[in-house]
Amino acid sequence: MTLLRRAGAPGALALAVLFSPGMTNAKPIAFAHGTTVMAEYGAGTMRELQVFYAPRYFLSTGLGHLALDSDIDERSRDITYARLNYLLKRWNMESAQANIFGWGSLASATTADDASGRFAWNAGAQLDYETRRIYSSLKSDYYSASTFSHRIDTLQLGVAPYEHDYATLATWFVVQARRYTGEIHEGTEWALLVRLFKRGAWIEAGPTTDGKLQAMFMLNF
Amino acid sequence: MPIRFALLVVASLASSLAGAETIEMKVNGLVCGFCAQGIEKTLRKNPATADVLVSLENRLVAVATKEGQDIPDGELRKALTASGYDVKSIQRTDTPLDALRERLKEHP
């Protein structure tokens, strides 16, 4: 399969840039009438590319592709999906914001043993809370097909060394913990990331405790 | 006489609002550049908008209107709500947006 699998990390990141003239945010919905392009390289275990358009601030829809390589049995899974994201609840506080997002997808999946493109579905949720100095998010993403199912849980905790403003570069140091079910990866994968963003452009990268690269690009425009 | 005085005050206030150059809004939930990006994009679509300034530090969204034009409070609140944010207050001033921008740079 797939474009992402063939492209690898640099290719996935290049694809994100090609898809968009600008870059975006780690929420599935950026802003009303905004387009979000995201590419993630997850330490050799997962690669994901997403393109979403938000007609309203609480709703976005688009396409994505997720490629997984098990480091337990070396089997691969490729899932191409059409997704609907919904902002279930937002709290706008004086100097903070918190959100609950939910999403669902209809998908076509192939595995190393079955290239026929079976029906799959996905559901997920994200909770986040952020100020200009503290960031936290918990995301859970579940996929199911007749031949497999798995869940990816990701926790991120970040601190900013200074408070950025709209026109200045934002810098964050983020600790990420990720767990996979479905015989994809054993144990918890830890990563220490540096996140930089300015206006609509976002890049985040760092090593995992296994010495692999964890990286993400996002564009909002 | 009191009626004349009241009319004068109202006329003066109306004249002051008609000549207002900048609308300053205090907004809750402004914590990152992406928030600001959506708000700026929405407000710039308004035909009466000349320029937009967003300050996360001051939780401030300021709009400079084109000469002789204004954006009603209801429309501003609707635009910010449609962007996913809460407006806490709206104030009109004669301070040009560039002067406000400079002032915030010097005294954030």
Classified as helix, coil or strand, A176 is strand
Q: For residue B105, name the pLDDT band (cuts at 50, 70, 90).
A: confident
CA A196 to chain centre: 16
Query: What is the average pLDDT value for chain B, to the nearest integer?
Result: 83
Chain A and chain B share a number of CB contacts under 8 A equal to: 87
Give the Cβ contact number of residue B12 at 10 Å.
Answer: 10
- What's the pLDDT score for residue A86? 97
Considering only CB atoms, B57 lies closest to which of A34, A87, A163, namely A163
Give the Cβ contact number of residue A164 at 10 Å.
Answer: 22
Q: Is B85 on the interface with A (CB under 8 A)?
A: yes
Test B84 with A90 for CB contact under 8 angstroms: yes
Cβ-Cβ contacts under 8 Å for A61 (sequence gap 6 or more): A52, A53, A55, A82, A83, A84, A85
Test B56 with A164 for CB contact under 8 angstroms: yes
The Cα–Cα gap between B105 and B102 comes to 5
- From first to last of its 221 residues, chain A has per-residue pLDDT tens of 444 455 454 444 443 333 333 333 468 888 888 899 999 999 999 999 999 999 999 999 999 999 999 988 888 999 999 999 999 999 999 999 999 999 999 999 999 888 888 999 999 999 999 999 999 999 999 999 998 999 999 999 999 999 988 888 999 999 999 999 999 999 999 999 999 988 888 999 999 999 999 999 999 88
- What's the pLDDT score for residue A135? 94
Test A31 with B38 for CB contact under 8 angstroms: yes
Among chain A residues, CA nearest to B56? A165
Classified as helix, coil or strand, B13 is helix
Distance from the Cα of A85 to chain B's closest Cα (Å) equals: 15
**Do residues A57 and A74 touch, judged by C-beta distance below 8 A?**
no
Give the H or E element holding residue A19.
helix A3-19
* Cβ contacts of A200 on chain B, cutoff 8 Å: 33-34, 37
Give the Cβ contact number of residue A170 at 10 Å.
Answer: 22
- What's the pLDDT score for residue B11? 43
The Cα–Cα gap between A183 and A179 comes to 11
**A55: which DSSP letter?**
E
Test A197 with B34 for CB contact under 8 angstroms: yes
Test B31 with A25 for CB contact under 8 angstroms: no
pLDDT surpasses 80 at B108: no
* Cβ contacts of A34 on chain B, cutoff 8 Å: 37-38, 41
Test B55 with A166 for CB contact under 8 angstroms: yes
- What's the pLDDT score for residue B43? 95
Give the H or E element holding residue A204.
strand A201-207
Give the Cβ contact number of residue A100 at 10 Å.
Answer: 14
